[in-house]
Amino acid sequence: MDFQQIIQQLINGLGLGSIYALIALGYTMVYGVLRFINFAHSDVLMLGAFSAFYLAPLVQKMVGPESIMGGILVFVLSAAICACIGMLIEFLAYRPLRKRPKLTVLITAIGVSLFIEYTGQHAAVFGSATRAFPKILPEHQIHLGKLMLNSNDIIVPTVTIVLLAAMWFIVQKTRIGTAMRAVSFNQQAASLMGVPVNRIISFTFGLGSALAAIAGILYSIKAPGIEPLMGVQPGLRAFIAAVVGGIGNLPGAVLGGLLIGVVETFAGGIPGLSNYRDAIAFGILILILLFKPAGLLGRATIEKV
């Protein structure tokens, strides 16, 4: 592998990693407020991709094909749809279980995930065949010396960085972000201080699902096609990324996502190792948890009796 290839792989890896980071943010935020793994998150990602799949022709009819404006419109509408779906899932499936053991909620989440996947595979919904994803953004090839870049290679990290900055702003600087952090710190105390806990949790689900939808579209732009099970693999990787970075920790999720994306891309380029791609993320996870059980940026909690 020469220098140029390494740079090329690095760019690919960072692109993939930033998508993982976006998905991981959703996992980590929900874990922050509810302390459980939202297994259905990866399916919201798939629903985001499918929303874009059905919206793109409609939007393009209105604003013309492959325009930046149309692209943004597709992103925003899909994110809005998925935010509603996320909040609906929380309201129907998780809210009644608020006081139950975490394990019950975890199994319910797995149930919700399977439900969305199998319903999606039904012929009357999306069907199980892989479909080609429409072009929603104009594409250009950019040559930088010997490096060849697709415009998508730049758009994906850019969108991610913008969204990450927005997330940071929402969580750290706004009233609702403060409330989110309060709920995550101590739900009971937050509710005693007048924070509307249920509304904050709902908002968190909406925000996470919107991010998942955008990540789903970005992922589909580069993927060969979309199908109802497309969310499972990136979802699993992103979840691992969230745990690697220290679940509940937003910068940690980003760091974990980039790490997994880059390592996976490089491993994919090495013959012999590429067959083990699916296992690599888990390998990283296990190594890191063995040495830092709270994740890279997570703080170890001391158990009080």
Partner 1 sequence: MPLSGAKRWLIVGIALAVLASLGSGYMNRYYLGIANDVGIAIILATSLNLINGHTGQFSLGHAGFMAVGGYFAAWLSLKIGASFSPQTAKAMFPLSLLAGGLFAALIGLLVGVPSLRLKGDYLAIVTLGFGEIIRVVAQNTEAVGAASGLKGIPQYTTLGWTFGLAAVTVYCVTSIVNSTYGRGFLAVHDDEIAAESSGISTTRYKVVAFVTGAFFAGVAGGLYAHHKQFLSPTGFDWIKSIEIVVMVILGGMGRTVGVIAAAILLTLLPEFLREFSEYRMIIYALMIIFLMLLRPGGLFVFKTKRRPTA
Q: Which residues bind partner 1 (CB under 8 A)?
A: 36-37, 93, 96-97, 100-108, 110-112, 114-115, 117-119, 121-123, 236, 239-240, 243, 247, 275-276, 278-279, 282-283, 285-286, 289-290, 293, 303, 305
CB 80, min distance to partner 1, A: 25
CB 171, min distance to partner 1, A: 22
Closest CA to 245 of 303, 197, 182, 294: 294
Distance of CA 165 to the CA centre of its chain: 15
- Which is nearer to partner 1, 134 or 257 (by Cβ)? 257
- Which is nearer to partner 1, 117 or 227 (by Cβ)? 117
CB 51, min distance to partner 1, A: 20
272 — alpha (psi -120 to 50), left (phi > 0) or beta?
left
CB 100, min distance to partner 1, A: 6
**Cβ pair 260, 20 in contact under 8 A:** yes
CB 193, min distance to partner 1, A: 27
- Which is nearer to partner 1, 39 or 133 (by Cβ)? 39
CB 280, min distance to partner 1, A: 9
144: its two tokens: 């930088």
**Cβ pair 253, 242 in contact under 8 A:** yes
**Cβ pair 197, 187 in contact under 8 A:** yes
DSSP 298: P
- Which is nearer to partner 1, 20 or 133 (by Cβ)? 20
- Which is nearer to partner 1, 185 or 282 (by Cβ)? 282
Query: CB-based burial of residue 174 (10 Å sphere; 0-12 exposed, 13-18 middle, 19+ buried)?
Result: exposed
- Which is nearer to partner 1, 192 or 290 (by Cβ)? 290
- As a whole number of angstroms, the distance between CA 128 and CA 263 comes to 30
